Amino acid sequence: MFKIGALVSGGGTNLQAILDAIDRGEIPGAQVVTVISSRADAYALERAKKHGIDAVVLSKKDFASADDLMEAMIGHLRKMEVDLVVLAGFMTVLTPAFIQAFANRIINIHPSLIPSFCGDGFYGLKVHEAALAKGVKVTGATVHFVNEETDGGPILLQKAVQVQEGDTAEVLQKRVMEEAEWKIFPEAIRLICSGAVEVVDGRVRRTTR
């Protein structure tokens, strides 16, 4: 069994897309064994509960420091024997200690075509607001491995989405989720779970297996 730990902060539609793909048999051998939320009011927690998945809230405000919070997260994910950590709309910055604890075993979904509209301060709706302000005609989503540079780790999958005349940030966000995020995130997990990809010299490589 390939065990996934999902980190969430919000609605959890990407978590849902992963759970649905697993239920449909599209990610053989994979199971989401735990969900960690940074917020007690995240709807993602309900989605986990409905699926009978272990779910915990580990929030900054309950810890003296970011290091203590990360220590608790590392401890929980190790206890659950997680093979892969997926950031499914997780809005807390990970510390180097966390990233090192799961080196090349953390992936993130970002709602733009990296390297556009990414890095510190670009998250959620802000990404789409920036894309519309710039007037790009094509945007999309990216799944990448997480390293110490915000949104700067090796890119695994990307999918482009058209911007349409009259789009608001909310409308664009929904289209990017439906056409890109909910497809490439489960697909990325399938590739990792099946051993089809590996990180070599800071880049993602398809294995020959």
> Binding ligand GAR by CB under 6 A: which of 19, 36, 109, 143?
109
- 12 lies in the site for ligand GAR, by CB under 6 A: yes
**Shortest Å, Cβ 104 to ligand GAR:** 19
**Shortest Å, Cβ 200 to ligand GAR:** 25
**Alpha-carbon gap, residue 139 to 19, rounded angstroms:** 25
Task: Tell me which residues in 118-147 interact with ligand GAR (CB under 6 A).
Answer: 123-124, 127
Shortest CA distance to 85 belongs to which of 44, 145, 26, 40?
A: 145
Residue 76 appears among annotated catalytic residues: no
**162 or 207: whose CB is closer to ligand GAR?**
162
**Shortest Å, Cβ 123 to ligand GAR:** 4
Residue 123 near residue 162, CB atoms below 8 Å:
no
Distance set, CA 104 to CA 44, 65, 101, 177 (Å): 25, 25, 9, 24
Which value, in Å, is the radius of gyration of the alpha carbons in the chain?
16
DSSP letters, 66-82, are HHHHHHHHHHHHHHTT-
**76 or 159: whose CB is closer to ligand GAR?**
159
Chain residues binding ligand GAR by CB under 6 A are 10-14, 44, 88-89, 109-111, 123-124, 127, 177, 181
